[in-house]
Chain A
Amino acid sequence: MEIKVLGPGCAKCKQTEQIVKEAVAESGAAATVEKVTDVMEIAGYGVFGTPAVIVDGDVKSVGKVPKKAEVAGWIK
């Protein structure tokens, strides 16, 4: 499972990355978490708000910090 956290570096984006990493660790799922900060690349995903989370190519959340329980739902 490949998870990407998109965000140019404000506090919310860092928070999102943290939450995603914790959710992955707690679920024990085999997943890589990658942070994408380059705005050109972010735009390339068709995402127009940050922070955003993409799981295996599916955009799961845009423009807000997801709850850990939400993230857990995406990765199980």
Chain B
Amino acid sequence: MRSNPSNTSLNWDNKPALTLNLFMGAAGVVVWWLVYQQLPGVSKWLTYSLLQISQGSHLGASIEFFLYDTPKVMMLLFLVVFGVGVIRSFFTPEKTRAFLSGKSEFAGNIFAALLGIVTPFCSCSAVPLFIGFVTAGVPLGVTFSFLIAAPMVNEIAVGLLYGLLGWKVAAIYMGTGLFIAIVAGWVIGRLKLENHIEDWVTQANIAAAEIEEEKLTWNDRFIYGWDAVKEIIGRVWIYVILGIAVGAGIHGFVPEGMMASIMGKGTWWSVPLSVVIGVPMYSNAAGIIPVVEALLGKGAALGSVLAFMMSVIALSLPEMVILRKVLKPRLIGVFVGVVACGILFVGYLFNTLL
């Protein structure tokens, strides 16, 4: 990769100046904060005064939850996606690939998992990325650490968890997600399954294409973040609304303690059950968080809920189908099995500890 010697910031026409962007950004944050503070009061007023629904009713609880959570989650999403977008502008798959090439097993697993969180990654890129990593000499297990961490420790999920459930839950999610990615990747590496990669991949002799490296200015990075906001929220808002609606239903209509019996601490089968429920479900990270919030509010144990959430996000059937192009079935089976075991372990651990 060669970088262009002259300063080539992305030169589009009509790019707003940095100072204007900073000013609007600061004003935006102030407005955001003021609106955010008003949300609980406004949602109560709308539900009970304006719509005249009786206090203490199931419907009232559901609607209040929905009216409060929808703008709350949207606003948090906005902030998180923007912030993460700016962070991501510092990372590219090419740099990650070059960095991980030839790294030794355990250190490589750790770096790969960490990079999986911050490197921009679209799940349709999974196959090209896999090929790229393998042909660059990144060990198979290290590649898997990346591929597990990237969808699982979704920065949107972490940001939303922080905003809705506090930093402890967010940190636990991130920590255990990383742990699973590192250990699962390391285990897969130890199993020496390199001969279960589809033959055409190992036989292909592919050199990476040379691309000019863009030099981004800070203004470029803010624009990158803003583009990420438009693109991601444009894509997920409907799932978020659906997730909040489900969460609102749970919040209003599911009796207290019922979740404790299904996803609670007392039963040994609650964690595997949560995983089994989660695997066939596919939601993106943003949509599942409001459901998580409601489940916890109804007495579900944190370990079971974490297991459920990770299963929904990390083990998706569409991704398995895509990976079938480059992995033989046995390797896919091992991949799913190891990740599922990791999730089970995390679930049990937290149900026992907390």
Chain A residues within 8 Å of B, Cβ to Cβ: 7-13, 39-40, 42-50, 54, 59-65, 67, 69-70, 73
In the complex, the answer to whether B127 meets A39 with C-beta atoms within 8 Å is yes
A67 contacts which chain B residues (CB < 8 A)? 10, 12
A12 contacts which chain B residues (CB < 8 A)? 122, 124
In the complex, the answer to whether A50 meets B122 with C-beta atoms within 8 Å is yes
In the complex, the answer to whether B93 meets A8 with C-beta atoms within 8 Å is no
In the complex, the answer to whether A46 meets B207 with C-beta atoms within 8 Å is yes
B7 within 8 A of partner (CB): no
Interface size on B, residues (CB 8 A): 33
B131 contacts which chain A residues (CB < 8 A)? 39, 43, 48
Report 25 cross-chain contacts, Cβ distance below 8 Å, ordered by A residue: A8-B124, A11-B235, A39-B127, A39-B128, A40-B200, A40-B204, A43-B131, A43-B132, A43-B206, A45-B209, A46-B206, A46-B207, A46-B208, A47-B209, A48-B125, A48-B129, A48-B132, A49-B94, A49-B129, A50-B125, A60-B211, A61-B211, A62-B93, A63-B125, A65-B231
B49 within 8 A of partner (CB): no
B97 within 8 A of partner (CB): yes
Kindly count the residue-residue contacts between A and B in the assembled complex, taking CB atoms under 8 Å apart. Answer: 82
In the complex, the answer to whether B210 meets A48 with C-beta atoms within 8 Å is no
B261 contacts which chain A residues (CB < 8 A)? none
Q: Which 5 A-B pairs have the closest CB atoms?
A: A48-B132, A10-B124, A46-B209, A59-B209, A69-B12
In the complex, the answer to whether B124 meets A9 with C-beta atoms within 8 Å is yes
A54 contacts which chain B residues (CB < 8 A)? 209
B92 within 8 A of partner (CB): yes
A52 to chain B, nearest CB (A): 8
B210 contacts which chain A residues (CB < 8 A)? 59
